Chains A and B, each alone.
Chain A
Amino acid sequence: MAEALFKIAVSAMSGRRNRLKIFPALTLAVFLLPILVGLLFTWAPAFGYLSAAGSNRFSLEPFATLLHHPSLPGALRSTFISGIGASLMSLGLALWIAATLYGSRLWSTIELSLAPLLSLPHAAFAIGFSFLIAPSGWLIRSVSPFPSGFTYPPDWTTNGDPWAISLTLTMLFKETPFLLLMIFSGLSRLDVRRTIWVGRSLGYHRLRIWTRLIIPQLYPMLRLPLLAVLAYSLSVVDLAYIIGPSLPPTLAVLIDRWFHDPDISSRFVGAAGALLLLLVTLACISSALVLEYLISKIASRKILDGRRKSPFELLVGSGSFYALILLGVNVLSLTALMLWSVAHSWRFPHFFPARFSFSNWSTALSHLLEPVFVSALAAFLSCLLAIILVVGCFENEQNLARSRIDSISQRSLWIIYLPLLIPQISFLFGIQVLLIIFNLEGSWGTLIWIHLVFVLPYVFLTLANTYRSYDQRYSYVGTALGARPLRSFFRVKLIMLTKPILFSMAVGFGVSIAQYLPTLYVGAGRFATITTETVSLASGSDRRVMAVYALSQFLLALTGFLTAIVLPAIMFRNRRAMQN
């Protein structure tokens, strides 16, 4: 009897099969098409084709100009230092913190603080961090005038230093929490506690257990996030404007400047640079994969040598030190932003502002309204579209009975990560060219579409596991009780999944808020978002205004997360089983 009912319910549900098929195709089109077309239309000018500039003849001149450009060697140096340095260091730091702190109280504290840390947008953090490390920043103020003896800020270059160290550190502190989040979610799928238990009962030190038992199982789940961090660090523009070197800047900034140069012939050099940056990124990604292969080869030969002790045992205590620095820098940066945003006068070397006032906020408010509104609307709409597409894809997958709980095939993961593995600036110019041809530049539709490209992967990744592990029998019960499949889907499944859906939307919302380049290139200067405004102000000198904008950016992203927490709590205030 029960089985018969189940079959009826299933067949009723699968009535939607054909219509759902459209979702994967639509999703792929929505976020792969712009990238592919954008790449092609960026490569064309690199080889001399740009009809807008009246040029349609094959030429290698853009590359010749690029390769002989006096800024190129320095730009490549900064790009490599910051890109590779930040990625390797954040991976090392995240794994070290995990290996040394797993299971401790500090480890739980880190887990709790990840969501707020991640909701602090990159640009806002970079501004706060620069308030810490600047020659007139909080760190030097804390030792001035005693014992440093400085009554004026020292003549040092700690912000935007030519070796890109400040940029590297900024990304290190910002990417480590992201990798930690990925580590947390990867570890939740392994039986870490008992693996450590078995390993130690066999006589192994905990560091050895991590390198030999846990990391080999964890790394496959970290690979793509790490490569995304690598691609991001090599090609980031907004952070490099705020805290990167300037003469010469990183390659990505150099390209951005060429694309915005009033002299239209610079577009060709920019396009050639965009292609070079793409090649640099692909080369780095390939090297990372080769390196991973070599390390795993060497490691698999040593894994059975039976050595129990680790040469780094004495350093285990440093894990909590690094973790506290990571948390401390984030908290201090945020605090510095808050203080500056309400400072009236705060002269060097005072540790606290002499006078507080809200006039920074009240003056900025009228300028803030529009960018906040534009940001929020673009973020909300792109998240909404993203969630519809993603849920559609999952439903289609479920109907094809192809879904295996907890497992996304590696191939489809690579596709989902694609927008995060290609430098934005390597295809955005091409999209801009195309939009100008079709006269679509600066429209709301294209703005939301381009945000969707970057929001979609994050929404997909954050929702995948919970959505796929939903017990489909709830919906079958709904259908068996007489609800039509669609009604059962909306009234049972979506409601039960409210919390994870809102959370993934909040993540997407934050991602959209933080977009800088896409807004700039697709918006034709018609859209000022909180992020474009914050970044353009960051080159200015009034820290109070910068702080107000950076905090507004943070508050906007935070609003998304708070909504995702508060809304379900109110909806299900009388339903205890829905609280967790």
Chain B
Amino acid sequence: MSLVLDSIKISLGTVQLFKPLSLTAPPGSIVTLMGPSGCGKSTLLASICGMLDPGFSFSGTIALNGRPLNGIEMEHRKVGILFQDDLLFPHLDVFGNMAFGLPARMSRRQKRERVNNSLAAAGLEGFGARDIATLSGGQKSRVSLLRALLAEPEAILLDEPFSKLDENLRGSIKQFVFDQIGLMNIPALMVTHDRSDSADGTYIELK
């Protein structure tokens, strides 16, 4: 049960973005990919999601829990994504944003209960009716992660998730993200240019 990348190559025209990449992310772990800006980190995440822009060419295989992802529509890949910007939907409140990821089979009451439990567990009790614009940066990141996790993805990708946070918030948010991913017990892949972001100090260099 893990996310497996096997000899991934991405090129734009004749330029190959990075050396062929292979890795395995076991469930509950956060694999960190390091590289300077512009080295193709975000493009790699786009390819795992199935959001690669036309113009890039891709080779290699991606497998999640034993099922190949190549060629699967993104909405069926069950891969969550978290960006440095929270990308919370401004026309929905906190509850709306989180419930948006819940499956259709749940009743309205079940959804309300599920979101409230999730908020309470994250120390955001009673935040459901809050307008997104009134949240602090740290609260937004937490809601954003909770939203991604409520959709029950089988893997999650983190695109420089902490780079826009204040220095004093970073530690606690990082701990929160890692704890939640550990609780879900799903594989996670993080790209960053800051080596201190790594959960256990280890990282793979992307070059």
**What is the interface of chain A, defined by CB distance below 8 A to chain B?**
103-105, 191, 194-198, 200-205, 212-213, 216-217, 303-308
* Contacts known (A105-B54, A201-B74, A202-B151); A306 close to B90, Cβ less than 8 A: no
Q: Once the chains are docked, how many angstroms separate the CA of A305 from the CA of B111?
A: 10
Q: Which residues of B sit under 8 angstroms from A105, Cβ to Cβ?
A: 54
Q: Once the chains are docked, how many angstroms separate the CA of A306 from the CA of B107?
A: 10
Contact B96 A201 (CB under 8 A): no
* Contacts known (A201-B81, A201-B148); A195 close to B106, Cβ less than 8 A: no
16 contacts between A and B (CB under 8 A): A105-B54, A191-B85, A194-B83, A197-B49, A198-B83, A198-B87, A200-B51, A201-B74, A201-B79, A202-B101, A202-B148, A203-B78, A203-B151, A213-B89, A217-B91, A306-B102
Q: Once the chains are docked, how many angstroms separate the CA of A457 from the CA of B10?
A: 48
Q: Once the chains are docked, how many angstroms separate the CA of A146 from the CA of B32?
A: 68
Query: Within 8 Å of chain A (Cβ to Cβ): is B75?
Result: yes
Contact B51 A197 (CB under 8 A): yes
Contact B100 A202 (CB under 8 A): yes
Q: Which residue of A lies closest to B105 (CB)?
A: A306
Q: Which residues of A sit under 8 angstroms from B90, Cβ to Cβ?
A: 217
* Contacts known (A203-B76, A204-B75, A217-B90); A303 close to B96, Cβ less than 8 A: yes
Beyond A202-B101, A306-B99, 9 extra complex contacts between A and B, CB < 8 Å: A198-B87, A200-B51, A201-B79, A201-B80, A201-B153, A202-B75, A203-B78, A306-B104, A306-B105
Q: Which residues of B sit under 8 angstroms from A304, Cβ to Cβ?
A: 96, 99-100, 102, 108, 111
Q: How far is the CB of B5 from chain A (nearest CB, A)?
A: 17
**What is the interface of chain B, defined by CB distance below 8 A to chain A?**
46, 49-51, 53-54, 73-81, 83, 85, 87, 89-92, 96, 99-106, 108, 111, 147-148, 151, 153
Q: How far is the CB of A314 from chain B (nearest CB, A)?
A: 14
Q: Once the chains are docked, how many angstroms separate the CA of A393 from the CA of B91?
A: 32
Q: Which of A191, A200, A216 contacts B74 (CB 8 A)?
A: A200
Q: How far is the CB of A165 from chain B (nearest CB, A)?
A: 37
Q: How far is the CB of A294 from chain B (nearest CB, A)?
A: 17
Q: How far is the CB of A269 from chain B (nearest CB, A)?
A: 48
Q: Which of A194, A216, A307 contacts B104 (CB 8 A)?
A: A307
Q: Which residue of A lies closest to B144 (CB)?
A: A198
Q: Once the chains are docked, how many angstroms separate the CA of A212 from the CA of B78?
A: 20
Q: Once the chains are docked, how many angstroms separate the CA of A404 from the CA of B111?
A: 39
Q: Which residues of A sit under 8 angstroms from B53, Cβ to Cβ?
A: 103
User: Could you count the A-B residue pairs with CB atoms below 8 Å apart for me: how many are there?
Assistant: 76
Q: Once the chains are docked, how many angstroms separate the CA of A342 from the CA of B96?
A: 61
Q: Which residue of B lies closest to A104 (CB)?
A: B54
Q: Which of A203, A212, A306 contacts B75 (CB 8 A)?
A: A203
Q: Once the chains are docked, how many angstroms separate the CA of A201 from the CA of B103?
A: 13
Q: Once the chains are docked, how many angstroms separate the CA of A202 from the CA of B148?
A: 7
Contact B92 A303 (CB under 8 A): yes
Q: Which residues of B sit under 8 angstroms from A308, Cβ to Cβ?
A: 75, 104
Contact A205 B75 (CB under 8 A): yes
Q: Which residues of B sit under 8 angstroms from A195, Cβ to Cβ?
A: 87, 89
Contact B49 A201 (CB under 8 A): yes
Q: Which residues of A sit under 8 angstroms from B108, Cβ to Cβ?
A: 304
Q: Which residues of A sit under 8 angstroms from B104, Cβ to Cβ?
A: 305-308
Q: How far is the CB of B42 from chain A (nearest CB, A)?
A: 10
Q: Which residues of A sit under 8 angstroms from B78, Cβ to Cβ?
A: 203
Q: Once the chains are docked, how many angstroms separate the CA of A202 from the CA of B156?
A: 11
Q: Which residues of B sit under 8 angstroms from A191, Cβ to Cβ?
A: 85, 87
Q: Which residue of A lies closest to B115 (CB)?
A: A304
Q: How far is the CB of A219 from chain B (nearest CB, A)?
A: 10
Q: Once the chains are docked, how many angstroms separate the CA of A205 from the CA of B81?
A: 16
Q: Which residue of B lies closest to A209 (CB)?
A: B75
Q: Which residues of A sit under 8 angstroms from B74, Cβ to Cβ?
A: 197, 200-201
Q: Which residue of B lies closest to A206 (CB)?
A: B75
Contact B106 A306 (CB under 8 A): yes
Q: Which residues of B sit under 8 angstroms from A205, Cβ to Cβ?
A: 75
Q: Which residues of A sit under 8 angstroms from B148, Cβ to Cβ?
A: 201-202
Q: How far is the CB of A220 from chain B (nearest CB, A)?
A: 9
> Which interface residue of B46, B50, B92, B106 has the most chain A CB atoms within 10 A?
B92
Q: Which residues of B sit under 8 angstroms from A305, Cβ to Cβ?
A: 104
Q: Once the chains are docked, how many angstroms separate the CA of A200 from the CA of B153?
A: 12
Q: How far is the CB of A226 from chain B (nearest CB, A)?
A: 18
Q: Which residues of B sit under 8 angstroms from A204, Cβ to Cβ?
A: 75
> Which interface residue of B78, B96, B99, B104 has the most chain A CB atoms within 10 A?
B104
Q: Once the chains are docked, how many angstroms separate the CA of A85 from the CA of B24?
A: 57
Q: Once the chains are docked, how many angstroms separate the CA of A191 from the CA of B76?
A: 22
Q: How far is the CB of B80 from chain A (nearest CB, A)?
A: 5
Q: Once the chains are docked, how many angstroms separate the CA of A204 from the CA of B76?
A: 9
Q: Once the chains are docked, how many angstroms separate the CA of A202 from the CA of B75?
A: 7
Q: Once the chains are docked, how many angstroms separate the CA of A200 from the CA of B87?
A: 13
Q: Which residues of B sit under 8 angstroms from A104, Cβ to Cβ?
A: 54
* Contacts known (A105-B54, A216-B91); A197 close to B75, Cβ less than 8 A: no
Q: Which residues of A sit under 8 angstroms from B50, Cβ to Cβ?
A: 200
Q: How far is the CB of A222 from chain B (nearest CB, A)?
A: 14
Q: Which residues of B sit under 8 angstroms from A198, Cβ to Cβ?
A: 81, 83, 87
Q: Once the chains are docked, how many angstroms separate the CA of A205 from the CA of B74?
A: 9
Q: Which residues of A sit under 8 angstroms from B147, Cβ to Cβ?
A: 202
Q: Which residue of B lies closest to A204 (CB)?
A: B75
Q: How far is the CB of B150 from chain A (nearest CB, A)?
A: 9
Q: Once the chains are docked, how many angstroms separate the CA of A109 from the CA of B161?
A: 34
Q: Once the chains are docked, how many angstroms separate the CA of A304 from the CA of B151?
A: 13
Q: Which residues of A sit under 8 angstroms from B103, Cβ to Cβ?
A: 306
Contact A200 B75 (CB under 8 A): yes
Q: How far is the CB of B113 from chain A (nearest CB, A)?
A: 14
Q: Once the chains are docked, how many angstroms separate the CA of A306 from the CA of B114?
A: 14
Q: Once the chains are docked, how many angstroms separate the CA of A142 from the CA of B78?
A: 51
Question: Which 6 residue pairs spanning A and B have beta carbons closest together?
Answer: A306-B104, A200-B74, A216-B91, A201-B81, A200-B75, A202-B101
